[in-house]
Amino acid sequence: MASDAPLNAQVNAQANALAHENILEAASEWLKSGRRVALATVVSTWGSSPRPVGSQLAVDDKGAMIGSVSGGCIEGAVVQEALAAIEDGKPRVLDFGVTHEQAWAVGLACGGKVQVYVERME
Amino acid sequence: MKRDLLGALLAARAAKTPIAIATRLDTGAQALVGPTPIGGAQTRGDLALDADSLAAVRLALAGDTSGTIETPSGRMFVQVYNPPLRLIVVGAVHIAQALVPMAALAGYAVVVVDPRRAFATDARFPNTAVTTEWPDDAMTRLAPDRRTAVVTLTHDPKLDDPALTVALKSDAFYIAALGSRKTHDARLKRLKDAGFDASVLARIHGPAGLAIGAKSPAEIALSVMAQATQVLHAKAGTGG
């Protein structure tokens, strides 16, 4: 199975990048290199939601992301709030879901609800 | 999150120590909490916790459950960071070549054990921790804990049995052995003769994996990962 070896290497590298464990480490490296960073964490979910409580997304001042707080449906809005938190230093709690007034714009396709806490790393 | 708190959190994770961070979402105040005091203090950070609140955070940590809790010190979000899951694969066989990357993708730190040097090569398992120690030596050194899964794949009693013997004496959350029902019955008999009770032997999932009609190495690996996931979450759900 000559094809297995490169596949293995590739997938292991991907797994390292995907692992939840590495998001804070990556954020710490960003801070050390002088980038400003905010951390978003899923703190509550209701109904079906793509990522469980505790899922995290680190965002830098250029909008670069590592990790996730949803299947991609709310990341755009979370990044905007993260950039604002990097500027003003205030933590915020964001609610997303079908009852949210912006639901039609950034709602969850799955119909669930999710609450995300955004804080500046300092 | 303050940088010194992040540093202490990362240090705990690097040391594979369970650690939790409690956050008041209204103020952003945070406390770092371990199962035992950290550097002589019960907590670190700018969030003060009374004894009952501290106990509540430690309970969440022990239960591996992140979430919002009500405490005498207020409503707070507790994020639990437990050491990573580990998978010990005994047998650097073809199925292992599929199982290793799948487990890595699922977030497991993977170690492959096989004293047969023709199997345990870097070419077959690139970027993977591979050891050619004898399975009982390797298993004793790796010391499986309740965040560890052990899967034997060799079909060879000389290799599988010593690994299973160490695994059964450990807290490993998932133990599985590849092989047909007949092979498994013979294995259970040998281990029974070696002194293991039936209740202890019942911890071994054999034949390994969920019954999904798996045929190819990748399909068998998938069925094993599915079963390990099922057992992991069943145990977390019952608090066991």
Query: Which member of A53, A91, A93 has the closest CB to residue B66?
Result: A53
Give pLDDT tens digits along chain A (122 positions).
444 555 555 555 545 445 545 799 999 999 999 999 999 999 999 877 778 899 999 999 999 999 999 877 788 999 999 999 999 999 999 998 754 445 445 555 556 788 999 999 98
Say which DSSP state B175 is in: E
A37-46, strands of its sheet edge to edge: A65-67, A56-60, A37-46, A113-121, A92-96
ipTM (interface predicted TM)? 0.74
The predicted pLDDT at position A113 comes to 84
**Contact residues, chain B, for A31 at CB < 8 Å:** 3, 6
CB atoms within 10 A of CB A106: 17
The predicted pLDDT at position A105 comes to 52
Best of B1, B21, B86, B112 to substitute, by most chain A Cβ atoms within 10 angstroms, is: B1
Residue B188 has phi, psi (to 5 degrees) of -60, -40
Both tokens of B164, joined, read 């299973």
Q: How far is CA A97 from CA A10, A109, A111, A118, B131, in A?
A: 36, 9, 7, 17, 48
How far off is chain A from B229, nearest CA to CA, in Å?
A: 15
User: Would residue B40 be called left, alpha or beta, if left means φ above 0 and alpha means ψ between -120 and 50 degrees?
Assistant: left
Summarised one tens digit per residue, pLDDT across range B138-171 is 999 999 988 899 999 999 999 999 999 999 999 9
- Which domains, from first to last, does chain B contain? 3-81 (no CATH), 86-237 (3.40.50.720)
Identify the closest residue of chain A to B1 by CA–CA distance.
Answer: A121
Report chain A residues touching chain B, CB-CB < 8 A: 1, 4-9, 11-16, 18-21, 24-25, 27-28, 31, 39, 41, 43-44, 53-54, 90-91, 93, 117, 119, 121-122
The predicted pLDDT at position B204 comes to 98
How far off is chain B from A60, nearest CA to CA, in Å?
A: 14
Give yes or no for residue B239 having a pLDDT over 50. Answer: no
**Contact residues, chain A, for B13 at CB < 8 Å:** 21, 24-25
Contact B74, B56 (CB under 8 A): no
How far off is chain A from B231, nearest CA to CA, in Å?
A: 18
Answer whether A24 sits within 8 Å of B13, measured CB to CB: yes
Query: Which member of B3, B6, B79 has the closest CB to residue A41?
Result: B79
Query: Which member of B10, B66, B126 has the closest CB to residue A24?
Result: B10
Identify the closest residue of chain B to A58 by CA–CA distance.
Answer: B1
| Three-state secondary-structure class, residue B197 | coil
The predicted pLDDT at position B96 comes to 97
The predicted pLDDT at position A6 comes to 56
Summarised one tens digit per residue, pLDDT across range B169-225 is 999 999 999 999 999 999 999 999 999 999 999 999 999 999 999 999 999 999 999
Query: Which member of A11, A16, A43 has the closest CB to residue B25?
Result: A43
Domain boundaries, chain A: 4-121
The predicted pLDDT at position B80 comes to 93
Residue B84 burial (C-beta neighbours within 10 Å; 0-12, 13-18, 19+): middle
Query: Which member of A18, A28, A53 has the closest CB to residue B67?
Result: A53
Sign of CA dihedral B221, B223, B228, B232: positive
**Contact residues, chain B, for A13 at CB < 8 Å:** 127
Summarised one tens digit per residue, pLDDT across range B42-96 is 999 999 999 999 999 999 998 888 999 999 888 999 999 988 899 999 999 999 9
Answer whether A39 sits within 8 Å of B128, measured CB to CB: no
Answer whether B23 sits within 8 Å of A117, measured CB to CB: yes
